Amino acid sequence: MPKSIGTSHAKIILIGEHSVVYSQPAIAFPLSNVKISVTTEAVADKQWITSRFYSGEIKNVPMNMHGIKKVVHYILSLLNKQKQSFKLTIESEIPSERGMGSSAATIIAIIRSLYAFFNTEISREELLFIANIAETTTHGSPSGIDAATTSSHEPIWFIKHKEAYSVPLNIEATLVVADTGIKGQTGLTVGQVRDRVLSSPDATEKIIAELGQLTSMAKSQITTDDAISLGHTLTRSHELLKDLGVSHPKLDFLVETSLSNGALGAKLTGGGGGGCMIALVKTPEEAINLSHLLNRNGAISTWIQPLTKESQDIEK
């Protein structure tokens, strides 16, 4: 039976979360070591999907998977393959609801897998256009940053409603990503920042402006192999995010544990209120040691991602 595989990977926000809501830049980073693959194979009849959340006919997927159903139907209609019988099997290492782009990565891998199954080429522009159909169904008004980053092998520089482009990577360092085990609270924390902008506009806008400046500095640092300065930039960003009230005691503890054990820098990543943090170290060996330490100190999962261009290459 014919079979094809499509792949994608996770992403994190390196820097610029929350301030990006207020027209400041953010940098999203692909985590090519945290993978998802989707296999499409021919079956006798009907159209099926198997995943950790649901297994059954695609037409009967639960509400939170309607974006997948919409994209599958769109592709089948576009390629005139509505009657084709097949099964999609999703195998993912990406945790959901942790700000790591799980839903976007799933869609990217599904699109790639289906196009490969039907032996049809797809451009990056078409890929992102179709992914946006699912993300709009799932999230209402997506920024597009998740789909852009989970389909890229380079960091994405992003300013809401203005620009998004890849940044060439030139740095020798390694990221450790640690999951607190606490579901992120992006909606809540975005609302808290909005309330602060209204109640204390001068102080809050000053923090937001500095976060934007730090993001511009980080862009320069990841392209000029300045890991030490990048570490300082990330740590300062975390301090400002704490000042905005979007961190969490467990995030702060893992950040402080990282910094007191040799990390060049550390911060929360994503919406905050839980979710994940990142720490920057110089070598893969240091990353392994820090990963073990964070696991012993309350992280429920950790991932290691070298920040070299070669390490970001993924199957197209």
Which of 183-197, 241-255, 261-275 comes out lowest in average pLDDT?
183-197
- DSSP-derived secondary structure for 59-119: GG--GGGHHHHHHHHHHHHHTT-TT--EEEEEEE-PPSSSSS-HHHHHHHHHHHHHHHHTT
- Helix, strand, or coil here: 244? helix
Q: What is the pLDDT of residue 259?
A: 99
Q: Where exactly are the structural domains of the chain?
A: 3-166, 174-312
Q: What is the pLDDT of residue 98?
A: 86
Residue 158 DSSP SS3:
strand
Q: What is the CB neighbour count within 10 angstroms for residue 189?
A: 25
The pTM of this model reads: 0.88
Checking if the pLDDT of 96 tops 90, the result is no
- CA 80 – CA 130 distance, rounded (Å): 16
**pLDDT band, residue 136 (cuts 50/70/90):** confident
Is 313 a residue whose pLDDT tops 70? no
Tokens of 31: 């985590």
What order of strands is seen across the sheet that includes strand 174-179?
A: 265-269, 276-281, 174-179, 301-306
Q: What value does the mean pLDDT of the chain take?
A: 93
Strand-pair partners of 150: none
Amino acid at 51: S
Cα(4)–Cα(216) distance, integer angstroms: 40
pLDDT tens-digit map of 115-129: 999 999 999 999 999
Which pLDDT score, from 0 to 100, does residue 316 have? 32
In this structure, the number of other CB atoms found within 10 A of the CB of residue 168 comes to 9
Residue % of the chain over a pLDDT of 70: 95
Lowest mean pLDDT across 15-29, 37-51, 176-190: 176-190
Q: Which residues touch 60 (CB under 8 Å, ≥6 apart)? A: none
CATH of 3-166, one of 1.20.1370.10, 3.40.50.970, 3.30.230.10, 3.40.50.150: 3.30.230.10
Task: Name the fold adopted by 174-312.
Answer: Alpha-Beta Plaits (3.30.70)
Q: What six digits make up the tokens of 288?
A: 């392994």
> What pLDDT score does 99 carry?
84
| Reduced 3-state DSSP string for 186-235 | HHHHHHHHHHHHHHCHHHHHHHHHHHHHHHHHHHHHHHCCCHHHHHHHHH
Task: Supply the pLDDT for residue 315.
Answer: 35
pLDDT at 262 over 80: yes
